Chains A and B, each alone.
Chain A
Amino acid sequence: EDQVTQSPEALRLQEGESSSLNCSYTVSGLRGLFWYRQDPGKGPEFLFTLYSAGEEKEKERLKATLTKKESFLHITAPKPEDSATYLCAVQETSGSRLTFGEGTQLTVNP
């Protein structure tokens, strides 16, 4: 069965303090790994898809990387508006559903 574990559960940073969020996964065959951002009371907002080990994607202050067992979401010089819960999900090659982790709640203080 697919498993996705995100760490830490919660992370508090000062504005400008860079850090990384981790997503460890177990799947029989990876079709894709997805990162989402979720603000309170809203639906998840798509950020990135990674398909193969070694792949990297960037968007503003966010950079996602992928290895065969985990993905990292690097946040460079975060701002308070980056505060949100970040969700990781995997899709295996034989299925169509996404298996989500429980998320990392990021708080960036000014």
Chain B
Amino acid sequence: DAGITQSPRHKVTETGTPVTLRCHQTENHRYMYWYRQDPGHGLRLIHYSYGVKDTDKGEVSDGYSVSRSKTEDFLLTLESATSSQTSVYFCAMGREVSTEAFFGQGTRLTVV
């Protein structure tokens, strides 16, 4: 009963290449989020969306862009991957801004 899935689950890419991570939800939730999780920093918000074509920056948005053309899909793009973007990326969804967020299984990205 995942409700939210991320792809790919693992990716290795080279410095300087663009990378797109995909998040797909089947719950028709309005809010979607992209977080990264790193040792010593916990989960930090990259970007979020509050509706189709409505997005905003989080606390660590530099070097990332997002798009949401359909309610169910939220894409995260690393425009030119750097080693500092090696991390585990989590997508999450929420019905409303004040309700709990449900997370995907994560994508482990390694930039070499």
Contacts from A to B (Cβ < 8 Å)? 31-32, 34, 36, 41-46, 49, 87, 89, 91, 96-98, 100-103
Q: Evaluate whether A44 and B90 lie within 8 angstroms (CB atoms) in the complex, with A96-B31, A96-B50, A102-B40 already known.
A: yes
16 A-B pairs with C-beta separation under 8 A: A31-B98, A34-B101, A42-B105, A43-B90, A43-B92, A43-B103, A44-B103, A46-B100, A91-B98, A96-B31, A96-B50, A96-B97, A97-B59, A98-B45, A98-B101, A101-B42
A91 to B96, CA, bound (A): 12
Contact of B42 among A31, A41, A87, A97 (CB under 8 A): A87
Given contacts A87-B42, A98-B45, contact A42 B106 (CB under 8 A): yes
Assuming A32-B98, A49-B100, is B43 touching A44 (CB within 8 A)?
yes
CB distance from A54 to the nearest CB of B (A): 18
B17 to chain A, nearest CB (A): 25
Question: A49 contacts which of B33, B99, B102, B103 (Cβ < 8 Å)?
Answer: B99
Query: Complex: how many Å from CA A46 to CA B4?
Result: 14
The smallest C-beta distance from A23 to any residue of chain B, in angstroms, reads 12
Q: When chains A and B are docked, how far (Å) is the Cα of A43 from the Cα of B5?
A: 11
